[in-house]
Structure 1
Amino acid sequence: MAALLPHNRFGPYIGDEKIGQGTFGVVYKVTKEQQSNDTGQVVFYALKIVELAVDQESRERELVSREEDILKTVKHHNVVRFVDSFTQGKCVCLVMEYCSDGTLYTFIRKRESKLSEDMFVNFLKQIADGLKYLHRKKVLHRDIKTKNILLTTGYILKISDFGVSRITDLVNPSVHSIRMGTPRYMSPEVLKKQPYGQKTDIWSLGCTAYEMAEMHYAFDANREKEAITCIKNHRLPNFDGIMYCSYMKDLIKSMLNKDPEERPNAKQILKSLLGHECTTWSLPTSPIGAELPAIHKTSQVNDDTTQYQILQAAKRESTIKPYKQPRKSLEFASTEIQKLLVSKLDCAKGCDIVCGMKKYFREGVTLRDTLAKYQGSIRGDILETVRPLCAALQGTEQALDALNEAKNSAEASLSSSTDRID
């Protein structure tokens, strides 16, 4: 494997910090001599060095050349950007954009809690978008995994490491049978040395999605050999610990279908994610000891009116049924959501903002317009975290209004009935 070159110099680049290990090389954080951006800040790059061994020079050179060719042809915001390439001695150097927040693998395992459903959906959207682009460009990645997904500022994800990738044949793209990639993420067809195509990347994406949800490998056996056996025999991991909506769990399972033809393609996955936004809030037990129902929110694209299961239940309340218990549950849910909102806003005016939001919701102002009123008060980096909480609060406020209408209707009905009897 490549060692650090003399004087910390790599062609016109300087640096000495090792930041990663690729499939066939070591990656360093570097700067270019006398180069900065428009604001005068130093620009960093990621430089991958592959040292060509004498006995494997032709094979390694072929893989590096393939990675370079692919990087030069792809330009997408969710794919790492190619900058430069050169040779130095027996080493081939590839220069790419620097992603400051490391790998998705490290990000997941440093967390103390699992990804929220909204963050999970956001991340999966980005990976699927990048993969859709690659597949449209006829690029078969063959090693999609959390260690090959990089994060940069603003939680932007980038697919990286094209060392084992290849451009598929336009005439017959599904005839590859050479086993390439990382065993824990390999599809059954690859492990069985059967022909495979783009759907093998979808299987790997399913493994990656499961890992994002559960913070450990999908096929997490103690030994890699056991994990491979589970994949070959299609013994899927346990999904009971995933606290997302059933739609998300079903989507992950569909990517892990043993039949490649039954797996969705990247475009279908992205379309499903863009057309579905769902958050499940598991609330604490109520003071009276009854377990509250989770709040489910489902939004259609370009629809500002959010429908909630809990709101629908409130609307179905009959005028002759008790409404006190549903109201207590809703009020408790609303209180918990408000607490979460204030803590997530992380500003001195958090309580005032939440009170203002409740007022706007009661007046029928849409979620989008309500958030627009607070753009100057809510930091952009937490807006996506706050948005589903606001939507959930909107739902409970609407549901409380519906229960009030049910109460008034019931009282009016009873009053009218008593008048007729008298």
Structure 2
Amino acid sequence: MKGEIGHGAFSTVYRGRYHGFDVAIKMLNAKTVSVLEKNVAKEATILLRLNHPNIVKFMGISIQDNQFAIVTEYLSRGSLRQLLLDTTILLEDEHKRKFALDVCKGMSYLHSEKVIHRDLKCSNLLVDKDWTVKVADFGLSREGSDIDVTMTMTACGTPAWAAPEVLKTQRYSEKADIYSFSICFWEMCTRQVPYEGIPPYQIVISVATQGRRPDLQSNDFPAPFEEIIKKCWDEEPAARPDFGELVTRFTTMVVPLPDHETPFIMKREYSAVSPNVSASYI
């Protein structure tokens, strides 16, 4: 292993090499192995049968001496969340459209395989060197007969992305992922964190019982973007489009031609007084 590239409450991710390929090694924290062993096994089972250019590629699983590790392809640009928060990266509407299209293609395939992600958010979307976005982290996913049961996601710490029906512990379908995508796309458009600074319990109450959504008024959204966001976070799951429809919408959508074909990275130049930013391709 070459070193840590990320960590969370339940696992730590390292970069490594596997049969000549750069890989990401997700190691379950020892204290949570007994609690999350079933989720890790389920994640590996789901990844094993998935094959799509917008789904992170599964390389293998290791279970040894009470240690669990899931090995996947390594995506060099990290999470979409990190990318959106990086102010040195300039994103134009065409780049956001492409990101959204990638997510919808991956999720459309996932749903065609009868899998509900249940934890779709920008920190679970990874970006490769060519700026392709891939859906990752299937630890909370459900498939087959599991998808038509009542479950809650609030205990997993992601209420800002959870659909109202999930927060209310009602029965839900794959349309819960559509709602989560609306929050992801809002993130792409605004490059902000949804409900930043608001305690999770307040988000649960306001979204589930008061119809609250992230702010659209103070941001300058292209009309097609705003229309999609509103449709995807509709209170009624049946009123939300499916990912197949969204793939068509984003494929045929016309936005202004970008000044740069891919996201433009500005190079920071630091001085003793203050940092300056100059534009250059990296």
Q: 1:97 aligns with which of 61, 67, 73?
A: 73
The within-5 A match list for 1:358-397 is 382-383=260-261
Partner of 2:120: 144
Aligned to 2:137: 161
Residue in structure 2 matching 1:178, options 152, 163, 168 = 152
Alignment of 1:2-13 (within 5 A): none
Once the two structures are superposed, residues 29-84 of structure 1 have per-residue CA deviations (whole angstroms, 9 ceiling, x without a partner) of 0113xx43xxxxxx311011114548x62x42211110000010101111100011
Letter in structure 2 aligned against 1:118: E
Gaps of 5+ in 1: 1-14, 37-42, 280-296, 298-340, 345-381, 387-422
Q: 2:44 aligns with which of 68, 71, 76?
A: 68
Q: Which amino acid aligns with 1:169?
A: S
| Alpha-carbon RMSD | 2.3
Gaps of 5+ in 2: 265-282
Structure 2 vs 1, CA of residues 23 and 146 (structure 1 numbering), >3 Å: closer, same or farther?
farther
Question: How do 1:22-421 and structure 2 match up within 5 A?
Answer: 24-32=10-18, 35-36=19-20, 43-53=21-31, 57=34, 59-112=35-88, 115-169=91-145, 173-179=147-153, 181=156, 182-232=158-208, 233-279=210-256, 344=259, 382-383=260-261
SS at 1:258 equivalent: coil
The SS at the match of 2:96 is: helix
Which of the two has greater helix per residue?
Answer: 1
Query: Which TM-score applies when normalising by structure 1?
Result: 0.58
Cα deviation, residue 247, structure 1: 1.7
Q: CA deviation at 1:114?
A: 6.6
Separation of aligned partners in 2, 1:385 and 1:115: 5
Closer/same/farther in 2, CA of residues 168 and 111 from structure 1, 3 Å limit = farther
Matched position secondary structure for 1:163: coil
Contact 1:205 1:255 in 2 (8 A): yes
One-letter amino acid matched to 1:17: G
Question: How much has 1:162 moved relative to structure 2?
Answer: 0.6
Q: Which moved more, 1:143-152 or 1:219-228?
A: 219-228
Secondary structure of 2:255's match? Answer: strand
Are the counterparts in 1 of residues 131 and 262 from structure 2 also a CA contact under 8 Å?
no
- What is the SS of the residue equivalent to 2:63? strand
CA deviation vs aligned residue, 1:253-295 (integer Å, no higher than 9, x gap)? 111111111111111111111121223xxxxxxxxxxxxxxxx
The structure that is strand-richer by fraction is 2
Distance 2:128 2:122 in 1: 14
* Bigger RCO (CA 8 Å, 6+ sep): 2
**For residues 114 and 259 of structure 1, what CA distance do their matches in structure 2 show?**
35
Count residues in correspondence: 261
Please give the secondary structure, in 2, of the residue aligned with 1:20: strand
Per-residue deviation, 1:221: 4.3
Compared CA separation, residues 224 and 183, structure 1 to 2 (3 A): same
How far apart in 2 are the matches of 1:266 and 1:227? 25
> How high is the sequence identity, in percent, across the aligned residues?
25
SS in 2 for 1:101: coil
Contact 1:52 1:61 in 2 (8 A): no
Distance in 2 of aligned mates of 1:228 and 1:276: 33
* Residues 259 and 205 of structure 1: CA distance in aligned 2, closer, same or farther (over 3 Å): same
In 2, Cα distance between the equivalents of 1:207 and 1:19?
25
Contact 1:214–1:241 (CA under 8 A) maintained in structure 2:
no
What is the rounded CA distance, in whole Å, between the counterparts of 2:122 and 2:168 in structure 1? 23
Give yes or no for contact 1:219–1:231 (8 Å, CA) kept in 2.
no
